Amino acid sequence: METGTKTAIIGIAAAMAISAFGGLALADGQQKINQNYLDLYDRDRFDAADADHNGLLTVDELQDAQKEFEFYRDNDRFRSADANGDGMLSLDECKAQRRQEIEHRNKLEKQILEDLRKRHPGADFTNIGWLKDHPEVLAQLIGNSTWLDENPQAARKLWENREWLAEHPDCAKAIFANRRWLYENPDIAEKLLENKKWIFNNPEVAKEVFANRLWLRAHPEFAKELYGNREWLAKHSAAAHVVYNNADFVKNHPELAKFAVEQRAAGKVAAQKANVSRPAVQKAAAAAKANGK
Protein backbone atom coordinates (compact mmCIF):
# COMPACT_ATOMS: atom_id res chain seq x y z
CA MET A 1 0.00 0.00 0.00
CA GLU A 2 1.28 3.48 -0.92
CA THR A 3 2.44 5.74 1.89
CA GLY A 4 -0.02 8.44 0.86
CA THR A 5 -2.92 5.98 0.93
CA LYS A 6 -1.87 4.73 4.36
CA THR A 7 -1.73 8.30 5.65
CA ALA A 8 -5.18 9.07 4.26
CA ILE A 9 -6.66 5.94 5.82
CA ILE A 10 -5.08 6.74 9.17
CA GLY A 11 -6.36 10.31 8.93
CA ILE A 12 -9.87 9.16 8.14
CA ALA A 13 -9.79 6.65 10.99
CA ALA A 14 -8.55 9.33 13.38
CA ALA A 15 -11.25 11.74 12.25
CA MET A 16 -13.90 9.06 12.73
CA ALA A 17 -12.57 8.31 16.20
CA ILE A 18 -12.54 11.99 17.14
CA SER A 19 -16.05 12.41 15.76
CA ALA A 20 -17.30 9.40 17.70
CA PHE A 21 -15.58 10.59 20.86
CA GLY A 22 -17.02 14.06 20.36
CA GLY A 23 -20.47 12.59 19.95
CA LEU A 24 -20.06 10.61 23.14
CA ALA A 25 -18.80 13.70 24.94
CA LEU A 26 -21.78 15.74 23.76
CA ALA A 27 -24.17 12.97 24.76
CA ASP A 28 -22.50 12.71 28.14
CA GLY A 29 -22.63 16.50 28.53
CA GLN A 30 -26.33 16.59 27.68
CA GLN A 31 -26.97 13.76 30.12
CA LYS A 32 -25.25 15.75 32.86
CA ILE A 33 -27.32 18.84 31.99
CA ASN A 34 -30.51 16.79 32.17
CA GLN A 35 -29.46 15.18 35.45
CA ASN A 36 -28.51 18.55 36.94
CA TYR A 37 -31.85 19.99 35.89
CA LEU A 38 -33.77 17.06 37.33
CA ASP A 39 -31.98 17.30 40.66
CA LEU A 40 -32.68 21.01 40.94
CA TYR A 41 -36.21 20.61 39.63
CA ASP A 42 -36.97 17.89 42.20
CA ARG A 43 -35.91 20.17 45.05
CA ASP A 44 -37.54 23.35 43.74
CA ARG A 45 -40.93 21.92 42.90
CA PHE A 46 -40.98 20.06 46.25
CA ASP A 47 -40.17 23.21 48.22
CA ALA A 48 -42.77 25.20 46.29
CA ALA A 49 -45.48 22.64 47.12
CA ASP A 50 -44.43 22.18 50.77
CA ALA A 51 -46.65 24.94 52.15
CA ASP A 52 -45.80 24.37 55.82
CA HIS A 53 -42.12 23.71 55.05
CA ASN A 54 -41.93 20.57 57.19
CA GLY A 55 -40.16 18.53 54.53
CA LEU A 56 -43.22 16.38 53.77
CA LEU A 57 -46.03 16.70 51.24
CA THR A 58 -49.55 15.96 52.42
CA VAL A 59 -52.41 14.92 50.15
CA ASP A 60 -53.79 18.48 50.35
CA GLU A 61 -50.44 20.00 49.38
CA LEU A 62 -50.16 17.63 46.43
CA GLN A 63 -53.69 18.56 45.37
CA ASP A 64 -52.84 22.27 45.48
CA ALA A 65 -49.80 21.58 43.30
CA GLN A 66 -51.54 19.14 40.99
CA LYS A 67 -49.92 20.56 37.86
CA GLU A 68 -46.48 19.57 39.12
CA PHE A 69 -47.58 16.43 40.96
CA GLU A 70 -50.33 15.09 38.70
CA PHE A 71 -48.69 11.66 38.84
CA TYR A 72 -49.71 11.22 42.49
CA ARG A 73 -53.39 12.01 42.03
CA ASP A 74 -53.84 8.30 41.44
CA ASN A 75 -54.28 6.62 44.84
CA ASP A 76 -52.36 3.48 43.88
CA ARG A 77 -49.37 5.50 42.67
CA PHE A 78 -49.47 7.60 45.85
CA ARG A 79 -49.48 4.51 48.07
CA SER A 80 -46.67 2.97 46.05
CA ALA A 81 -44.55 6.11 46.47
CA ASP A 82 -45.29 6.37 50.21
CA ALA A 83 -42.60 3.87 51.18
CA ASN A 84 -42.97 4.26 54.96
CA GLY A 85 -46.76 4.41 54.86
CA ASP A 86 -47.09 7.66 56.83
CA GLY A 87 -49.59 9.17 54.40
CA MET A 88 -47.12 11.84 53.24
CA LEU A 89 -44.31 12.01 50.70
CA SER A 90 -40.73 13.04 51.40
CA LEU A 91 -38.36 14.42 48.78
CA ASP A 92 -36.51 11.09 48.63
CA GLU A 93 -39.78 9.22 48.12
CA CYS A 94 -40.66 11.54 45.24
CA LYS A 95 -37.22 11.21 43.68
CA ALA A 96 -37.51 7.44 43.83
CA GLN A 97 -40.53 7.75 41.52
CA ARG A 98 -38.76 9.97 38.99
CA ARG A 99 -38.48 7.32 36.26
CA GLN A 100 -42.13 6.31 36.64
CA GLU A 101 -43.19 9.98 36.63
CA ILE A 102 -41.25 10.66 33.42
CA GLU A 103 -42.73 7.59 31.74
CA HIS A 104 -46.22 8.64 32.86
CA ARG A 105 -45.71 12.17 31.58
CA ASN A 106 -44.36 10.94 28.23
CA LYS A 107 -47.35 8.64 27.81
CA LEU A 108 -49.77 11.49 28.49
CA GLU A 109 -47.95 13.83 26.10
CA LYS A 110 -47.96 11.28 23.29
CA GLN A 111 -51.68 10.79 23.79
CA ILE A 112 -52.26 14.56 23.70
CA LEU A 113 -50.22 14.83 20.51
CA GLU A 114 -52.15 11.97 18.93
CA ASP A 115 -55.47 13.60 19.89
CA LEU A 116 -54.36 16.92 18.37
CA ARG A 117 -53.47 15.19 15.10
CA LYS A 118 -56.88 13.50 15.02
CA ARG A 119 -58.63 16.83 15.58
CA HIS A 120 -56.57 18.47 12.83
CA PRO A 121 -56.19 15.83 10.11
CA GLY A 122 -53.71 16.76 7.43
CA ALA A 123 -52.20 19.59 9.48
CA ASP A 124 -48.44 19.97 9.38
CA PHE A 125 -47.31 20.61 12.94
CA THR A 126 -43.87 21.65 11.65
CA ASN A 127 -45.26 24.37 9.37
CA ILE A 128 -44.50 27.71 11.03
CA GLY A 129 -47.18 29.54 9.09
CA TRP A 130 -49.88 27.03 10.02
CA LEU A 131 -48.87 27.05 13.68
CA LYS A 132 -49.01 30.85 13.84
CA ASP A 133 -52.50 30.75 12.35
CA HIS A 134 -53.55 28.23 15.05
CA PRO A 135 -52.12 29.58 18.31
CA GLU A 136 -54.53 27.46 20.37
CA VAL A 137 -52.82 24.35 18.97
CA LEU A 138 -49.37 25.83 19.33
CA ALA A 139 -49.97 26.60 23.01
CA GLN A 140 -50.52 22.88 23.61
CA LEU A 141 -47.55 21.82 21.50
CA ILE A 142 -45.15 24.14 23.29
CA GLY A 143 -45.65 22.29 26.56
CA ASN A 144 -45.34 18.88 24.91
CA SER A 145 -41.86 17.40 25.22
CA THR A 146 -42.57 14.80 22.54
CA TRP A 147 -43.29 17.49 19.96
CA LEU A 148 -40.35 19.60 21.11
CA ASP A 149 -37.94 16.69 20.79
CA GLU A 150 -39.23 15.98 17.29
CA ASN A 151 -39.23 19.62 16.15
CA PRO A 152 -36.47 21.58 17.90
CA GLN A 153 -35.85 23.92 14.96
CA ALA A 154 -39.52 24.78 14.48
CA ALA A 155 -39.80 25.56 18.17
CA ARG A 156 -36.67 27.70 18.11
CA LYS A 157 -37.89 29.77 15.16
CA LEU A 158 -41.22 30.40 16.82
CA TRP A 159 -39.75 31.32 20.17
CA GLU A 160 -37.27 33.77 18.69
CA ASN A 161 -40.18 35.81 17.28
CA ARG A 162 -40.92 37.98 20.30
CA GLU A 163 -43.20 40.30 18.34
CA TRP A 164 -45.53 37.41 17.57
CA LEU A 165 -45.36 36.19 21.15
CA ALA A 166 -46.33 39.62 22.41
CA GLU A 167 -49.58 39.26 20.46
CA HIS A 168 -50.24 35.72 21.75
CA PRO A 169 -49.82 35.70 25.55
CA ASP A 170 -51.22 32.17 25.94
CA CYS A 171 -48.40 30.78 23.81
CA ALA A 172 -45.88 32.94 25.64
CA LYS A 173 -47.13 31.67 28.98
CA ALA A 174 -46.77 28.07 27.79
CA ILE A 175 -43.18 28.79 26.73
CA PHE A 176 -42.18 30.29 30.07
CA ALA A 177 -43.85 27.39 31.87
CA ASN A 178 -41.68 24.87 29.98
CA ARG A 179 -38.73 25.20 32.35
CA ARG A 180 -36.91 22.12 31.17
CA TRP A 181 -36.62 23.40 27.60
CA LEU A 182 -35.57 26.86 28.76
CA TYR A 183 -32.93 25.31 31.00
CA GLU A 184 -31.57 23.29 28.07
CA ASN A 185 -31.67 26.31 25.71
CA PRO A 186 -30.27 29.22 27.74
CA ASP A 187 -29.67 31.40 24.67
CA ILE A 188 -33.38 31.43 23.84
CA ALA A 189 -34.26 31.87 27.51
CA GLU A 190 -32.11 35.00 27.73
CA LYS A 191 -33.77 36.51 24.66
CA LEU A 192 -37.22 35.76 26.02
CA LEU A 193 -36.47 37.14 29.45
CA GLU A 194 -34.62 40.30 28.49
CA ASN A 195 -37.84 42.21 27.76
CA LYS A 196 -38.83 42.81 31.38
CA LYS A 197 -41.36 45.53 30.55
CA TRP A 198 -43.30 43.08 28.40
CA ILE A 199 -43.14 40.46 31.17
CA PHE A 200 -44.63 42.87 33.71
CA ASN A 201 -47.34 43.83 31.24
CA ASN A 202 -48.43 40.17 31.14
CA PRO A 203 -49.04 39.04 34.76
CA GLU A 204 -49.72 35.40 33.83
CA VAL A 205 -46.38 35.25 32.03
CA ALA A 206 -44.69 37.02 34.95
CA LYS A 207 -46.10 34.40 37.31
CA GLU A 208 -44.38 31.64 35.31
CA VAL A 209 -41.13 33.62 35.23
CA PHE A 210 -41.24 34.09 39.02
CA ALA A 211 -41.84 30.36 39.45
CA ASN A 212 -38.69 29.46 37.49
CA ARG A 213 -36.41 29.28 40.51
CA LEU A 214 -33.67 27.51 38.58
CA TRP A 215 -33.24 30.45 36.22
CA LEU A 216 -33.57 33.06 38.94
CA ARG A 217 -30.99 31.28 41.10
CA ALA A 218 -28.54 31.30 38.20
CA HIS A 219 -29.24 35.01 37.45
CA PRO A 220 -29.41 36.76 40.85
CA GLU A 221 -29.32 40.31 39.46
CA PHE A 222 -32.20 39.54 37.14
CA ALA A 223 -34.11 37.97 40.03
CA LYS A 224 -33.48 40.95 42.27
CA GLU A 225 -34.79 43.33 39.61
CA LEU A 226 -37.95 41.28 39.05
CA TYR A 227 -38.66 40.53 42.69
CA GLY A 228 -37.81 44.08 43.70
CA ASN A 229 -40.72 45.64 41.80
CA ARG A 230 -42.82 45.99 44.96
CA GLU A 231 -45.42 48.35 43.54
CA TRP A 232 -46.19 45.82 40.82
CA LEU A 233 -46.26 42.94 43.32
CA ALA A 234 -48.79 44.79 45.47
CA LYS A 235 -51.15 44.96 42.48
CA HIS A 236 -50.78 41.37 41.26
CA SER A 237 -51.51 39.00 44.12
CA ALA A 238 -51.23 35.70 42.21
CA ALA A 239 -47.74 36.48 40.95
CA ALA A 240 -46.74 37.95 44.31
CA HIS A 241 -47.83 34.73 46.00
CA VAL A 242 -45.22 32.86 43.94
CA VAL A 243 -42.57 35.39 44.94
CA TYR A 244 -43.32 35.27 48.67
CA ASN A 245 -43.32 31.47 48.66
CA ASN A 246 -39.71 31.48 47.47
CA ALA A 247 -38.63 31.59 51.11
CA ASP A 248 -34.91 31.11 50.42
CA PHE A 249 -34.81 34.15 48.15
CA VAL A 250 -36.96 36.25 50.46
CA LYS A 251 -34.89 35.55 53.56
CA ASN A 252 -31.71 36.45 51.65
CA HIS A 253 -33.17 39.81 50.59
CA PRO A 254 -34.16 41.67 53.76
CA GLU A 255 -35.94 44.52 51.96
CA LEU A 256 -38.25 42.05 50.23
CA ALA A 257 -38.74 40.11 53.47
CA LYS A 258 -39.80 43.31 55.23
CA PHE A 259 -42.20 44.17 52.41
CA ALA A 260 -43.69 40.63 52.44
CA VAL A 261 -44.25 40.74 56.19
CA GLU A 262 -45.88 44.18 55.88
CA GLN A 263 -48.15 42.91 53.11
CA ARG A 264 -49.19 39.98 55.26
CA ALA A 265 -49.89 42.24 58.25
CA ALA A 266 -52.01 44.45 55.99
CA GLY A 267 -54.13 41.44 55.05
CA LYS A 268 -53.04 41.25 51.43
CA VAL A 269 -54.23 37.93 50.02
CA ALA A 270 -50.98 36.88 48.39
CA ALA A 271 -48.85 37.55 51.44
CA GLN A 272 -51.46 36.09 53.76
CA LYS A 273 -51.49 32.78 51.88
CA ALA A 274 -47.74 32.67 51.47
CA ASN A 275 -45.67 31.34 54.33
CA VAL A 276 -43.78 34.51 55.25
CA SER A 277 -43.98 33.73 58.96
CA ARG A 278 -40.96 31.44 58.85
CA PRO A 279 -38.36 32.48 61.46
CA ALA A 280 -35.67 33.15 58.84
CA VAL A 281 -37.95 35.50 56.90
CA GLN A 282 -39.10 37.25 60.07
CA LYS A 283 -35.49 37.69 61.14
CA ALA A 284 -34.53 39.18 57.76
CA ALA A 285 -37.51 41.53 57.92
CA ALA A 286 -36.59 42.67 61.42
CA ALA A 287 -32.99 43.30 60.32
CA ALA A 288 -34.17 45.39 57.37
CA LYS A 289 -36.45 47.41 59.62
CA ALA A 290 -33.67 48.00 62.12
CA ASN A 291 -31.39 49.21 59.34
CA GLY A 292 -34.07 51.53 58.06
CA LYS A 293 -34.42 49.77 54.72
Distance linking the first and last C-alpha atoms of the chain: 82
Quick check: 236 and 199 in contact, CB under 8 A?
Answer: no
What is the DSSP secondary-structure string of 167-194?
A: H-HHHHHHHHH-HHHHHH-HHHHHHHHS
Task: Give the Cα separation of 208 and 201 in Å (integer).
Answer: 13
Report the 3 state secondary structure along 102-120: HHHHHHHHHHHHHHHHHHC
pLDDT tens readout for residues 223-249? 877 777 888 888 888 888 777 777 777
pLDDT tens readout for residues 126-154? 898 899 999 999 989 988 878 888 887 77
Phi/psi of residue 89, each to 5°? Answer: -115, 130
Range 80-84 contact pairs with CB under 8 angstroms and sequence separation of 24 or more: none
3-state secondary structure (DSSP) of residue 57: strand
Give just the sign of the alpha carbon dihedral 155, 190, 181, 251: negative
Give just the sign of the alpha carbon dihedral 88, 92, 95, 100: negative
pTM of the model: 0.66
Determine the pLDDT at residue 135: 92
Answer left, alpha or beta for residue 195, where phi above 0 means left and psi between -120 and 50 means alpha. beta
Determine the pLDDT at residue 46: 82
Determine the pLDDT at residue 55: 86
**One pLDDT digit (tens) per residue for the chain, 293 residues:** 544 444 433 343 333 333 333 433 334 444 544 566 566 667 778 887 887 778 899 888 888 776 778 888 888 888 989 999 999 999 899 888 888 888 888 898 899 999 999 999 999 998 988 999 999 999 899 888 788 888 877 777 877 787 888 888 888 888 888 887 777 777 778 877 888 888 888 888 888 888 887 777 777 887 877 777 888 888 888 888 777 777 777 777 777 777 777 777 666 655 545 555 555 556 655 665 666 65
Element containing residue 201 per DSSP (H, E)? none
